[in-house]
């Protein structure tokens, strides 16, 4: 199996207060903006203040990855596979973070909850749906 690379054109980028690394817990309470390419603005119709969205963005500072690591770079944490962690150093450094919409104006979505560094390319925005995105029996029967 030798899968073909897949190429995506970002729909926009994040403008945030964080030019470099900061802990997620520090970033998420702060406001930030998702600035779409103007031609993408029509795709925002129906997104409302207060609504939660799932934002997929590229971790553009993540240039390497480890398949096994101590989570949080803390040697006290047992070694895990990268797919069992939310490390930013992943084979495909795509983040998936819930954010809450403060307002939508033209091609700009004002949010809280994002943990994206300034300039992060945004790949997709999806509405959060509890029925779809919460673990339930519909996710599948127990093993």
Between residue 25 and residue 44, which ones bind a second copy under the rule CB under 8 A? Answer: 25, 28-29, 31, 35, 37, 40, 42-44
Instruction: Using CB under 8 A, pick the residue from 24, 26, 72, 106 that binds a second copy.
Output: 24
Which is closer to a second copy, CB of 17 or CB of 103? 103
CB of 20 to a second copy, least distance (A): 20
| Contact residues for 126 (Cβ-Cβ < 8 A; gap 6+) | 53, 54, 56
**Contact, 23 vs 118, CB < 8 A?**
no
Residues 73-112 that bind a second copy (CB under 8 A): 78-86, 90-92, 94, 96-103, 111-112
Distance CA 39, CA 47 (A): 17
Q: Which residues contact 5 (CB under 8 A, 6 or more apart)?
A: none
Residues in the interface with a second copy (CB under 8 A) total 77
């Amino acid at each position: 199996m030798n899968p073909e690379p897949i190429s995506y054109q970002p729909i926009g980028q994040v403008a945030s207060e964080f030019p470099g690394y900061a802990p997620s817990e520090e970033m998420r309470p702060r406001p930030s903006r998702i600035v779409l390419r103007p031609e993408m603005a029509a795709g925002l119709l129906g997104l409302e203040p207060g609504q939660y969205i799932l934002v997929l963005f590229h971790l553009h500072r993540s240039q390497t990855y480890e398949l096994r690591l101590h989570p949080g770079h803390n040697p006290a944490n047992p070694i895990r596979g990268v797919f069992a962690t939310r490390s930013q150093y992943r084979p495909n450094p795509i983040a998936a973070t819930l954010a809450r919409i403060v307002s939508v104006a033209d091609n700009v979505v004002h949010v809280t909850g994002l943990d994206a560094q300034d300039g992060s390319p945004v790949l997709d925005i999806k509405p959060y749906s509890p029925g779809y995105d919460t673990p339930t029996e519909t996710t599948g029967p127990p093993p």
